[in-house]
Chain A
């Protein structure tokens, strides 16, 4: 059974940092592009970033470029999102999600975690 479990969320002050993690199981993690998607309270879904199987390609939404960094450890079946210079508008539930097809950036997301909440507030 495919499972994605996020962790690392919490309350952080504006300008602070946080590192989110997503632990994958039930599939060959190293064969899939992986993404982070977020949902601010009362808002819709927003794609944040994705990363190629070997970590060699990474893409970000403009609003997080230079502040967020996506990475992965295929030996540990883990995906990460390092967030610095956090702002109130980064407050959201953060989900990790798997691309549908192996080896392709085919970002129809067929499996999602339950999310981890990040709150940026003083």
Chain B
């Protein structure tokens, strides 16, 4: 099983500032990595797939980068609606696994 490790667990950021979230895989993934945003009471929302491709309708302030075992999600200028939990997930092998999540909270 590929273990996904996200850091930090919690990120405190002021609105308008940049947020950088990290995700490390225990094995090389090629680019088979996705990022999701999850708010309480809602379904998760796909932000990024293929490590760096924004999903349909996702604002340009969200960007993904990385390959191999190290990946990053960057939110260039945090808006109020961006405060949520973010998960990375690989789909390079079975079982698919998620990271434990990074909570982005208002500073």
Q: Let me know if A75 is at the binding interface, CB within 8 A.
A: no
Residue contact A95 to B43, C-beta cutoff 8 Å: yes
Residues of A within 8 Å of B62, CB to CB, are none
Contact of B98 with A44 in the complex, beta carbons under 8 Å: yes
Residue B56 lies at the interface, judged by CB distance under 8 Å to chain A: yes
Most chain B CB inside 10 Å of its own CB: which residue of A59, A105, A107? A107
Q: What's the nearest-Cβ distance from chain A to residue B66, in Å?
A: 15
Chain A, residue nearest B35 (CB): A108
With most chain A CB atoms within 10 A of its CB, the pick from B44, B45, B85, B101 is B44
Residue-wise, chain A 95-111 has the 8 Å CB interface mask toward B (1 for contact) of: 10000100001111110
From B15-23, B72-80, B89-97, the one touching the partner chain is B89-97
Stretch from A18-26, A83-91, A112-120 at the B interface? A112-120
Chain A interface category by residue count = 20 to 34
Query: Contact: A105 with B91, CB < 8 Å?
Result: yes
Interface of B (DSSP majority class): loop
**Are A45 and B98 in contact, with the CB atoms below 8 A?**
yes
Asked if A61 contacts B98 (CB within 8 A), the reply is no
Of all chain A residues, which has the CB nearest B49? A108
Interface size class of B (residues with CB under 8 A): 20 to 34
Interface digits, B6-18 against A, CB 8 Å rule (1 contact, 0 not)?
0000000000000
In the assembled complex, which residues on chain B have CB atoms less than 8 Å from the CB atom of A37? 44
B79 to chain A, nearest CB (A): 22
Residue in contact with B96 in the complex, picked from A95, A100, A107, A110, CB distance below 8 Å: A107
Q: How far is the CB of B92 from chain A (nearest CB, A)?
A: 10
Is the CB–CB distance between A45 and B95 below 8 Å? no
Question: Chain B nearest CB: distance from A92 CB in Å?
Answer: 13
Q: Which chain A residue has the least Cβ–Cβ distance from B87?
A: A45
| Listed A/B pairs (26) with beta-carbon separation below 8 Å | A44-B85, A44-B87, A44-B100, A45-B36, A45-B38, A45-B44, A45-B101, A47-B89, A47-B95, A47-B98, A50-B96, A59-B94, A62-B95, A95-B44, A100-B49, A105-B91, A107-B89, A108-B34, A108-B49, A108-B50, A108-B91, A109-B34, A109-B36, A109-B44, A110-B55, A115-B43
